[in-house]
Chains A and B, each alone.
Chain A
Amino acid sequence: MNYINSILVLAGIYLVLSSSFDLIIGYGGLISIAHPIFYAIGAYTAGLLAIVWHVPAIPAILSGGVLAAVASVAMSLPAIRVAGDYLLIASIGFQLGLLQIIKNVEFTGGDAGLSDIPPAITGPSRAALFAAISLSLGVLVVLLIRWIVRGPYGAIITAMRDDELALLALGRNVTRIKVVILAVGSGLAGLAGGIYAFYYQYLSPSQFDVLQSAAILTMVVIGGMGTALGPVIGTFLLLGLPQAITFLQLPPSVMAPFQGILFCVLVLLFILVRPQGIIAARRPHT
């Protein structure tokens, strides 16, 4: 039962990550792959606040979300000022740079990772409670993003994605819209990081590297970018896939790259054969 609850906790976390990433890349059309580093900022902030200052779980998780949002502003403001593709390159540098800092400073535990994070919830139903919290947060985030994109601000976001110049001509502050989208998406990723920290009680820098970016991207692309339901389907499909191939009983050293190969092949197939993903957006991404 604990195993199933663990999967459900992860499902909730990845629901938040993929949906918030879809807000950035699918609805906003902003090419950034630094999402896992905001997830990491949230996780490390929550973990460190709990360890060092004994901050309770909820304010620690919220602080992680806020710090992740602030960090995204620090990353995006200089890069967005220049032009579209520069954000992508800046995001790669930002992610790798911050990961290097996390790996090399002592207070984060360095390469060995951050351990001894307090459990926040104890008792026999800990895993079930975490699963409920994580999934609830996931559903809330999906609904929140659906609400944002269906409202007037969502119309502006998609208008910016479809024709930035036209939106500029209408007198809209495109830079501010981009920064806000990134901050909201990254802040939500930070919240997911907080849940992760308190559930697993251990953080390692390798959990937040570029390969994590590929996993989240896979969920969004396969599910369908720019749709509320797409990342949900992508998340469950990609979390279910590793369970489906466990019958092969491959050693862990082989299993991880094998899963990666499957994910990447799926993405490439979808990009070349069905770029709109399983759920097609109203405006297909060609």
Chain B
Amino acid sequence: MMLPILAQIFWTGFANAAYYVLFTIAFALIVKVVQLWNFAQAGMMGIAFYTMYTVINFLEWPTWAAFLIGVAVTAAAGLLVEFYGLRTLRRRRSSNLMFFIFTLIFSELIAYVLMFLFGTEPVTLFPSILSPVRIIHGIAVTDWDLTAIAVTSASLIAVWLFLQFHHEGQFLLAVADNGRLAELYGISAQRAYLVAFAIAAVFSCEGMYLFGTRAAVLPTTPNDLMLFAVIGTLLGGMGRLFAAAAAAVVLALVQSYSVLVIASKWQGLVLYGFLFVVIVLFPRGFRLPGFRARRAIPAPTPAQAKV
């Protein structure tokens, strides 16, 4: 009797983990490459969602066009943040405090602008968020679940292939390992930062598309969603993108299963509790016993590093 319920919770939690994984990868990639807790990501996520919302609901353009425009606008916002904000602070050798205030206030500014433009009523990307359901071995599986898992899996594979085999991806890893050394080898750290922001924009947009077709969004919703990404990044360990993604899945499942023991209104509190436990017990991330981190990929030789 209990098993089908547990299986259903697992499946729903696993499917919902899709957008959390995308947000976490976006956040963890910036932490890894730019060495920055990018709280501006919430602002970028808000821009992504409301751009798609405008294109779909006001311009009535097709979904694919909305997604592409969403990615373009979000990436442009990310590049502006990097180019006019972070680069200025970096050039001035600003303290972490200034980076933090800048990224946080950027997100707040975007939230206010979105409130000003779209109001404070929750909205979804499409008028209906219902998705066709089929029953497989007693578990309700929606089309949305399958789409979310497929999109996220494909994105994870794509980013892995990019980082491992594309020279720009390898440059990102080199800058992440040692920015100064990478620059000595002729790799532009500034360019790597811009590429990282562009990738984060794509992941943020994908995540907000999935979230916005599943649940309603307010201008302040991205702030809560970003917290999930922060915890995933912490739990996965700095610089470990795919461990962070795995942590996001675990967090989503824990949150889903928590409905068995606590009321749904307290689910958010589980997340904040996790945040504290992670900071106190696993500040450098959680590693399975006996698991050893893979050796970092060395920076490309000067011959490879043609920027």
Asked whether A and B interact, the reply is yes
Interface residues of A (CB under 8 A from B): 25, 29, 31, 33, 78-79, 81-86, 88-90, 92-94, 96-97, 100-101, 104, 210-211, 214, 217-218, 221, 253-254, 256-258, 260-261, 264-265, 267-268, 271-272, 275, 285-286
Shortest distance in angstroms between B228's beta carbon and chain A's nearest beta carbon?
Answer: 11
Shortest distance in angstroms between B283's beta carbon and chain A's nearest beta carbon?
Answer: 4
B93 at the interface (CB under 8 A from A): yes
A-contacting residues, B265-281, CB 8 Å: 265-266, 268-269, 271-273, 275-276, 279-280
State A89–B275 Cα separation when bound (angstroms). 8
> Of B105, B116, B269, which is within 8 A of A214 by CB?
B105
Interface residues of B (CB under 8 A from A): 37, 84-85, 88-89, 92-98, 100-102, 104-106, 108-109, 111-113, 115-116, 119-120, 220, 223-224, 227, 230, 234, 265-266, 268-269, 271-273, 275-276, 279-280, 283
**Contacting residues, chain A, for B283 (C-beta < 8 A):** 82-83, 86
State A264–B92 Cα separation when bound (angstroms). 21
| Given A93-B272, A254-B116, A257-B115, 11 additional A-B pairs, CB 8 A | A31-B97, A78-B280, A79-B280, A88-B37, A100-B272, A104-B266, A214-B105, A217-B101, A217-B104, A253-B119, A267-B101
> Of B101, B116, B227, which is within 8 A of A92 by CB?
B227
**Contacting residues, chain B, for A258 (C-beta < 8 A):** 112, 116
State A268–B227 Cα separation when bound (angstroms). 22
Using known A-B contacts A82-B279, A104-B266, A275-B92, determine if residue A97 contacts B273 with beta carbons closer than 8 Å. Answer: yes
> Of A101, A253, A267, which is within 8 A of B269 by CB?
A101
Central interface residue in B116, B220, B230, by most chain A CB within 10 Å: B116
Are A217 and B105 touching (Cβ within 8 A)? yes
| Consensus secondary structure, chain A interface | helix
**Contacting residues, chain A, for B269 (C-beta < 8 A):** 97, 100-101
Shortest distance in angstroms between B123's beta carbon and chain A's nearest beta carbon?
Answer: 15
Are A221 and B112 touching (Cβ within 8 A)? no
Are B116 and A271 touching (Cβ within 8 A)? no
> Of B104, B106, B116, B234, which is within 8 A of A261 by CB?
B116
Are B279 and A286 touching (Cβ within 8 A)? no
Using known A-B contacts A89-B230, A104-B266, determine if residue A221 contacts B95 with beta carbons closer than 8 Å. Answer: no
**Contacting residues, chain B, for A264 (C-beta < 8 A):** 105-106, 108-109, 112
Shortest distance in angstroms between A249's beta carbon and chain B's nearest beta carbon?
Answer: 16
**Contacting residues, chain B, for A90 (C-beta < 8 A):** 275-276, 279
State A25–B89 Cα separation when bound (angstroms). 18
**Contacting residues, chain A, for B268 (C-beta < 8 A):** 96-97, 100
> Of A79, A221, A257, which is within 8 A of B113 by CB?
A257
Nearest B-chain residue to A213, judged by Cβ: B104
Central interface residue in B97, B100, B275, by most chain A CB within 10 Å: B97
**Contacting residues, chain A, for B108 (C-beta < 8 A):** 210-211, 214, 260, 264
Are A82 and B109 touching (Cβ within 8 A)? no
